[in-house]
Amino acid sequence: MKKEVDKIIQFIKGVLKKQKFTNVVVAASGGIDSTCALYLLAKAIPKDHIFVFHLPYIHSEFAMLKKISISLGIPVKNIIETSIKSIVDQVIHTRSDLDRVRLGNIMARVRMIILYDLAKKHQALVCGTENKSEYYLGYFTRFGDAAADFEPIAHLYKTQIYQLAKYLGVPKEIIGKTPSAGLWQGQTDEGEFGFTYQEADIVLHLYFEKKISLEEIKKQGYKNAEKIINRALSNQYKHQAPYLIKEK
């Protein structure tokens, strides 16, 4: 794990040096992914160059995030909460047929707009918090939570993020939280999927990286293998957009 952390730290430093930036902004939700990203940033760059923004719609985790950020040495003035409720509600009022998923997408894209404006204000790069499980499953909003200038943990599956969090010393109350995008009351990632990250990570690894067929994976006893791979394949279009005319 130490080798992995060192690799990520060098990656963060390398990106900033190459792109000639010293500041970073990160949207912290109170979940395990963004908290791990925050811990890694605090190890990689001077604390006063990190700007932590909490952008809630209703439910706020700011008190906990502020406490964690301060414990990492990040200046209080760099830890800011900005509610997105008024902006999102203005968009909602122009739509009469919104379902919960579309509402979640609006929230994610509003956060992206604010975050990039803040990045411009502080002459900073945006640190992403996506993991490999979310990437393969397409569990992200295009031009929303997937928008970032660099991604320090996108090469790690969700189950590996838990290992990383324990190594970094992330508080137990965050590690023990049920994974949720916070899109609506009671929403959970695994409830929406119909399968666990633990099973998904193994199946995704076997299929996409080991190139083992779906039928063979099913024979190994993974009962949700077809559901997992079908979801991943149905969201492949997200990885290829925007589509371009390629001149010969």
Count of CB atoms situated within 10 Å of the CB of 138? 17
Q: Are residues 92 and 192 in the same domain?
A: no
Q: Which of 147, 175, 203 is the last residue of a domain?
A: 175
**Shortest CA distance to 57 belongs to which of 127, 130, 128, 108?**
108
**Bridge partners of 127?**
26, 150
CATH number at residue 169: 3.40.50.620
Q: What is the pLDDT of residue 147?
A: 96
Q: What's the CA gap between 45 and 11, in Å, rounded?
A: 11
Do residues 156 and 61 share a domain? yes
pLDDT at position 185, please? 67
Rounded to two decimals, the pTM is 0.93
Q: Which domain holds residue 207?
A: 187-240
Same domain, 193 and 88: no
Q: Does a structural domain hold residue 139?
A: yes
| C-beta atoms surrounding 81 within 10 Å | 16
Residue 96: per-residue pLDDT: 79
Residue 47 domain-assigned?
yes
Tell me, yes or no, whether 245 lies in a domain: no
The burial class, CB within 10 Å (0-12 / 13-18 / 19+), for 238 is middle
Query: What is the DSSP-derived secondary structure letter of residue 130?
Result: -
My answer on whether 205 and 171 are in the same domain is no
Q: Is residue 46 part of a domain?
A: yes
Q: How far apart are CA 59 and CA 78, in angstroms?
A: 21
Burial class (CB in 10 A: 0-12, 13-18, 19+), 189: buried
Are 198 and 168 contained in the same domain?
no
Residue 6, CB-side half-sphere exposure with 13 Å CA sphere: 3
Which of these three, 175, 200, 230, is where a domain ends?
Answer: 175
Q: What does the alpha-carbon distance between residue 60 and residue 32 come to, in Å, rounded to a whole number? A: 15
Is there a single domain that holds both residue 162 and residue 196?
no
State the pLDDT at residue 248.
79
Q: Mind listing the pLDDT tens digit of every residue in the chain (248 residues)?
A: 999 999 999 999 999 999 999 999 999 999 999 999 999 999 999 999 999 999 999 889 999 999 999 999 999 999 999 999 999 999 999 887 888 889 999 999 999 999 999 999 999 999 999 999 999 999 999 999 999 999 999 999 999 999 999 999 999 999 998 877 666 666 787 888 899 999 999 999 999 999 999 999 999 999 999 999 999 999 999 998 899 998 87
Looking at the fold, whether 53 and 167 belong to one and the same domain comes out as: yes
Which of 119, 3, 158 lies closest to 11, judged by CA?
3
User: 68: burial class by Cβ within 10 Å (0-12, 13-18, 19+)?
Assistant: buried
Calpha distance 193→59 (Å, rounded): 22
Is 188 within 8 Å of 226 (Cβ atoms)?
no
Same structural domain for residues 10 and 42? yes
Q: How many distinct structural domains can be found in the chain? A: 2
User: What pairing do the DSSP bridges indicate for beta strands 23-27 and 124-127?
Assistant: parallel
Q: Are residues 130 and 207 in the same domain?
A: no
Residues 12 and 109 both lie in one domain: yes
Strand ranges for 17-151 from DSSP E: 23-27, 50-54, 79-81, 124-127
Judgement on whether residues 158 and 200 belong to the same structural domain of the protein: no
Verify that 209 and 122 share a domain, yes or no: no
